[in-house]
Amino acid sequence: MIKEIKSKQNELIKEIVKLSTSAKRKETKTFKVDGFHMFEMAKSSGLLKEVFVLKEIPNLDVPQYLVSEEIMEKISSSKSPQGIVSICKMKEEKEVSSPRVLYLDGVSDPGNLGTILRTAVAFGFLDVVLSENCCSIYNEKVLQASQGAIFILNIVHKNNLEELKKNGYKIFATEIKGSISLKDTPKIDKFVLVLGNEAHGVSEPILKLADKRIRIDINDIESLNVAIAGAIAMYELAK
Amino acid sequence: MIKEIKSKQNELIKEIVKLSTSAKRKETKTFKVDGFHMFEMAKSSGLLKEVFVLKEIPNLDVPQYLVSEEIMEKISSSKSPQGIVSICKMKEEKEVSSPRVLYLDGVSDPGNLGTILRTAVAFGFLDVVLSENCCSIYNEKVLQASQGAIFILNIVHKNNLEELKKNGYKIFATEIKGSISLKDTPKIDKFVLVLGNEAHGVSEPILKLADKRIRIDINDIESLNVAIAGAIAMYELAK
């Protein structure tokens, strides 16, 4: 189905603009992504619902809405829109099944969260668990920084660390106090890597649950950015 | 010296506000940083020139200007100013002397550049060379993400790769084509790690100079963010 929309006042366009808000995303269980790369990833994942385009896309089996450049600028979250905005269904959350799990305990900066998700795919951490106080994965800055990782990962919102521990996962938390060096961390088949909040680190209840606390040895500066520390830990533990 | 400034129209305040622009920073060879952590680092580095504060700081041997909250908001680049803005002299560029050198070839995103500088300190890459088309290290987003790394590092703006090569440095460039895996990269005493532009990677002339091209092995996603790839490479090569 292809349909042309000419007016910025069109009701559907107004609804799409509102998808920039968390409330509208929750209500409709959909979110929007920008550009061709994200469109391709959304299509492959089976989550694509409909697209708004400047030019028709051949052989596409979801509804297409042809819009003007003016409307495209209105619905796009990018400063320089590529000419395609894709509306996607939110992914269903599955049970954790990957041997390497990433647990994010209050990661609040959208750029950090998106970058961490992108890196998680790269190192095969295909299940990601988010604590309640993380920022939303559907935030547009998160989606941008994640480079479509969200379409590949199983991301769950559920504090199931105790359950994972019972199921044989070892819990590794990044924390300086009482820690062992990342380089000396035992290579284990089933584990959860926990990254903490930018300012406060991993929270106390989770530190108590952890089997090991791990640190990255660094010089002359207080700490690493959480996305950087997480990436180095994922790289090393996935070796 | 302590002096009170009461008017937002004060000429000095107007000058300080202008330090948000690159032109004014170049003209005056100064830059400003926000908050107490940056103040402490500026003081330790000997680059502190003067401070604008809400409350007097005892035992400080640079000029202090007491200002109102309204003026503080005007001169601070932070959304929630901590009550201190420090004016610093730009650092003199020294010759490269560290055995581990980082070369940034067109890193253009301020958040990436700042994060890379923070990580460089952590892994002992104490000389950083920037190509012409990198963003400015005095950009306020760079300073924020760098967490004061700029006060520790020797940062030089000079394409001296050929010279470094003649002086016995091996050149490692991050690039997929024709590469060896980071894990198989020989451990060498004197080397330069080159990171490229976010969209285009390392430029052709530098790839030609490189002794080795190195890649980080990843799954299911096209690439890593440059600050992430750089951090993993610095971590591994500094081991």
Q: Tell me the pLDDT tens digit for each residue of A102-156.
A: 999 999 999 999 999 999 999 999 999 999 999 999 999 999 999 999 999 999 9
Residue A159 has pLDDT above 80, yes or no: no
Q: What percent of chain B has pLDDT over 90?
A: 89
B159, pLDDT greater than 80: no
Could you tell me the pTM of the whole model?
0.92
Structure tokens at B30: 């100064």
Residue A79, number of CB atoms within 10 A of its CB:
6
User: What's the pLDDT tens digit per position in B21-56?
Assistant: 999 999 999 999 999 999 999 999 999 999 999 999
Could you report the per-residue pLDDT of A160-174, keeping only the tens digit for each?
899 999 999 999 999
From chain B residues 184-213, the ones with a CB under 8 A of any chain A CB are: none
* Three-state DSSP string of B141-202: HHHHHHCCHHHCCEEEECCCHHHHHHCCCEEEEECCCCCEEHHHCCCCCCEEEEECECCCEC
The answer to whether B182 touches B215, Cβ cutoff 8 Å, is yes
In whole angstroms, give the CA distance from residue A216 to residue A175.
Answer: 9
Residue from the list B122, B148, B225 with its beta carbon closest to the beta carbon of A218: B122
Check CB contact of A76 with chain B, cutoff 8 Å: no
Mark yes or no for CB contact B220/A121 under 8 Å: yes
Percent of chain B scoring above 70 in pLDDT: 100
Q: What is the ipTM of this complex?
A: 0.91
- Rounded to 10 degrees, what is the CA torsion of B11, B17, B23, B25? 90
Q: Do A233 and A193 form a contact (C-beta atoms < 8 A)?
A: yes
Partner-chain contact A152 B239, CB within 8 Å: no
